[in-house]
Chain A
Amino acid sequence: MSEIEEAPRGDGGAPVAVDHDAEHRSAVPMPVARFDDPHLGDAARHPRRTEVIIALFLIVGIAGVAAFGGAFVENASTQVLAVSFGVGLFGLGFGLTAWGKYLMPRGPFEEARHELRNSDSDRQAMAAALVERTGVVVKRRRVLGGLLGTGFGIFGVVAAFPLLRSLGPVPGKTLFVTDWRKGSLLVDVNGRPVHKDDLQPGGLLTVFPNGFENTDNGQAVDQTVLIRLQSSGNIVTMRGRENWGPDGFVAYSKVCTHLGCPVGLYERQLELLVCPCHQSMFKVRDGAVPTFGPAPRPLPQLPLTIDPDGYLRAQAGYNQPVGPGFWERTTPAWENTSPR
């Protein structure tokens, strides 16, 4: 900081803290903005003009806020309300700021900066009070101090426990289960059962187990995407899933294994499911293994069957937790494919 210009002042040229006594400051008049203030330039050289301009802004401001009042009474459109309100306040504000900037005393004035630190003896006195009183009160009553500390410690733990624990249930198995069961009927979001003729090859539908609307989290947890691939016949997406995809139908959990967004996009030509949140892509024909993006695991597959009436049913529930990963999740990636 060698470049600081120390203003020549006082007698010796050394920086002198300005004396802030009232009698010192009271004698000097505070100059209004002056013509030759180098900060001001044109505005101060033409104070009348500046006044007029400021007055115009204030008048615009008055008109604006008055217009806002009128617009409010008339229940005008949002745009009219906004422009009258905004222009009104901006006009008043601009006028006031310009008034302050160009026509009010701006010095530059100076304020002394007193050191925050106290004298060494004051500091020592405080430290002494802390240490010596503690010595008397606590050190001679170690047992009491220990008991009090233990009490506060236990209370801290005990108080935190109900605060947290009362918020909700322990997770238990809630993250592991869905409402899909052996024989669950596939229904659409309105509860209508899905018949195998409802979907053309290449079609897609979001399905749920029947009765999902009576559950707390069914729509979020059970959501499953049912796809009818172009090729008919039994679709085998992986070893061990030989009879999971009857008549071209496959079903996967719609909850992305990355962050739980619904995997809502389907690229029909490439047979890819795409999550619009972070662009994870899942290969439908290959057990929904992720081929792109941050998703770490395939979407769990729901084993399907077609009942004698032609309605689609689940052979079983999902064989692993659906959705994103969490600490207690145990199923290794896609090795355990036997239906639950």
Chain B
Amino acid sequence: MNTATSTAKETESKIDTKTIKFQIKRQLHPEQEAFWEEYEVPYKPSLNIIALLMLQNTNPIRTDNQTSTPVAYQANCLEEVCGSCTMVINGKVRQACSALVDKLEQPIRIEPMSKFPVVRDLWVNRSRMFKQLEWIQAWNPLDHYAPIGSGPAIDPDTQQKAYNWSRCMTCGCCLESCPQWSADEGFIGPQAIAQAMLFNSHPTGKTKADLRVKALMDNGLNVCGNAQNCAAVCPKELDLIGAISEANWQATKQLAKTFFGRH
């Protein structure tokens, strides 16, 4: 459309009738078939995908005028810090809260992540990600919580590196985009690798470093094909590539140690 030639009146009437068209992939039960629905709502500036889902929930009337049911989805903080509302939006995995309608091509296609079991509609079960944190013992092992003073001094650059990995909100974008990761088997994936490296870099966490590296090796660390999709989709810009190469280096050192019999 050549906007330069449209009159002010035309533009105005176009704004009046402007709508937002979106399609949602529904699945009412894990054992039922998935299907698509289309909705259209009046345009409003600055909406995000959560606001669209709220409108759908308020008034679940499709473009074909059939009344449907409110779509089920997970969401909590709505400011991209809790990791709940990860979905695939126009083919890209991301948080629905920070996906702004004004920046998306319509009709907007909203579907659940494909790598995790669907609970209902856009709601998926990501419990596997939390299980993986158990496998790698993603915590600093403290003797006790008694008041015995501060931890070790840490230089600002080391802190910044740790903070970067520590911002992982277990949202699953990296796993959804990874060609190697699946919820059933094999490769543990970038999320857990980065967390293992976070604790392996901490003076207290280090005491379990070998164990974490072993857990990574037992869970397909070497399967990573270096596609680097994970880093590209991570909403918090975690240094996942750095974590994976660090993990590989630690694994090599551990193998060498075993090979030469030094324990």
Say whether A and B bind each other: no
